[in-house]
Amino acid sequence: MDEPENQQALRRENESAVLLAQAGYRVAQNPTVAGTTRNPDYLIENRVFDCYAPTNSKPRAIATTLEGKIKKGQAQRFILNLEDSSVDITALQQQFTQYPVAGLQEVIIIKHQQVIPFIP
């Protein structure tokens, strides 16, 4: 976790937790989830979420990463912190609409310090 990109990811995870709490969400960071060996980033409103903070601006690459996390059983709900990405949110919405990701249940975006419910 000493690599600069890992440190930045951890900063974005922490930042996201604060912003979600300020927006009124009940957030537990790095919770223990009974009956599983998963190590989720958050429990938000009693639902497991993983944080992903991409640095690329390609909607397909972002969707593919989320799809991989779902297939590995990491999570089905995501906090997508876009503070380090210049991806166009409309293009991202089109990506998920035209090419739905199987198993994806919920995405909340963090952009410009704002919390944006995205999917559903």
Q: Is 84 a catalytic residue?
A: no
Given the residues 58, 69, 71, 72, the one annotated as active site: 69
pLDDT for 6-43, tens place per residue? 888 899 999 999 999 999 999 999 888 777 777 889 99
Given the residues 50, 58, 71, 106, the one annotated as active site: 50
Q: Is 50 a catalytic residue?
A: yes
DSSP-derived secondary structure letter, 3:
S
Given the residues 2, 3, 15, 41, the one annotated as active site: 41
Instruction: Report pLDDT for 2.
Output: 62
Instruction: Report pLDDT for 3.
Output: 76
Q: Is 69 a catalytic residue?
A: yes
pLDDT for 43-76, tens place per residue? 999 999 999 999 999 999 999 999 999 999 889 9
Asked whether the beta carbons of 27 and 44 are under 8 A apart, the reply is yes
Asked if CATH classification 3.40.1350.120 holds for the domain at 4-119, the reply, yes or no, is: yes
Given the residues 2, 5, 13, 83, the one annotated as active site: 13
Q: Is 5 a catalytic residue?
A: no
Break the chain into its structural domains and give their ranges: 4-119
Asked whether the beta carbons of 5 and 15 are under 8 A apart, the reply is no
Percentage of the chain exceeding pLDDT 70: 97
64 Cα distance to chain centroid: 13
Q: Is the pLDDT of residue 1 over 60?
A: no
Q: Is the pLDDT of residue 102 over 90?
A: yes
| In the chain, alpha helices (H) | 4-22, 59-71, 89-98
